[in-house]
Amino acid sequence: MTYTIHRLDGRFSYHKWFAYYIGFAGGMANRHGPLHFNNTLKWFMETYGWSAEIREYAKMHAWTQQSTGWMGNYRQAAGILEELPDHCNPYWSWTNGSDDLRIYVQSEKELNFFQLKWSNT
């Protein structure tokens, strides 16, 4: 399997939730990026359970943050609590842009577990 590993820092949009992303090539030619990406996506789902796609993940996080402001105080007083849904799996997320296939992982622990399963060639 062929992939790249990138450590997330302040330059990356999702660094608040994830420490790394595993990148795959967009084309099927020599590197089989979509095939490797989908094999990995399936493995993460089986290993950690479902997770929302990263852009939806971010929107759900934003909603829960928004509901903790002054409106959140009103909602809490009314007994309406906005909690982050289970769809936002804290261990991983993913995105599948046309040439940018990524799996985001929370920490080095999840990254190492992935690397034990799938060696990089």
Q: What percentage of the chain exceeds 90 in pLDDT?
A: 52
Confirm if 90 and 22 have CB atoms less than 8 A apart: no
74 vs 47 pLDDT, higher one = 47
> What pLDDT band is residue 47 in, cutting at 50, 70 and 90?
very high
Hey, where are the domains in the chain? 4-52+89-117
Cα–Cα distance between 106 and 88 in angstroms, integer?
12
What are 78-95's pLDDT values in tens digits? 544 456 666 778 899 999
pLDDT of residue 103: 96
Q: What is the dihedral of CA 82, 64, 42, 6, to 10 degrees?
A: -160
Mean pLDDT of 34-63: 90
Place of tokens 């089989």: 32
